[in-house]
Amino acid sequence: MAREIIRPHGMFNSPFYSHAIRKGGTPLFISGQVAMDAEGNPTGAGDAAAQAQAAFDGIRHVVEAAGGTMADIVKLTIFTTDLAHRSAIGAARAHAFPPGQMPASTFLVVSGLADPRWVVEIEAVAMLD
C-alpha cells in the first residue's frame, strides 16, 4: 500500500505536519533514540540541535538496518526537557523529512530523560513493505 497522508478539510494543514499517515505493511517499532556514541557514551551534552540530529540519525540507521527508509516512518514521538528546544528539534526534523512527507508526530516536554545530559529523545514507528 502506498503511503497516504491524511489532511482533513477544515483543519489546519501544513507541509510541516501530518495529522495521520496510512500505509500497509509490517510495523517496525523503533525505541527512543538519543545522542549516544557506539560505546554508549552520551554526546552533545545540553545541545538540542546536535542531539535531535543524532536521534534522527539513529532512527535512520535502525530503519535502514530493517530494510526500510525514512519514507517508511509513519509516527514520531519526540521528548524534550525544555520547550525552548522546539525550534532546534523542528529544524532537525525538517532535515530528516522533506516538506509534505512529515510523519504523524507528538511533541512532549518532560521533566527528565534517562541521563541528565540528554535533552532530546525520539521514538518512531515505520511501516515496512
Model confidence over 23-57: pLDDT tens digits?
A: 888 999 999 999 998 888 899 999 999 999 999 99
CB 39 within 8 A of CB 87: no
Contacts of 116 (CB under 8 A, 6+ apart): none
Domain extent, residue 73, equals: 32-128
Look up the CATH number of the domain holding residue 123. Answer: 3.30.1330.40
Count of CB atoms situated within 10 Å of the CB of 55? 29
CA dist., res. 103 & res. 113, Å (int): 23
User: Residue 80: which of 68, 90, 69, 71 has the closest Cα?
Assistant: 90
Is 16 domain-assigned? no
What φ, ψ does residue 88 adopt, rounded to 5°? Answer: -65, -40
pLDDT at 24: 86
Global pTM reads 0.88
Is 118 domain-assigned? yes
pLDDT at 109: 98
pLDDT at 16: 76
Strand partners, 33: 122
Is 40 domain-assigned? yes
Is 123 domain-assigned? yes
Is 73 domain-assigned? yes
pLDDT at 38: 87
Helix, coil or strand: residue 62: helix
pLDDT at 22: 84
The ranges of the chain with pLDDT < 70 are none
pLDDT at 106: 97
pLDDT at 7: 81
Is 52 domain-assigned? yes
CB 111 within 8 A of CB 21: no
- Domain count along the chain: 1
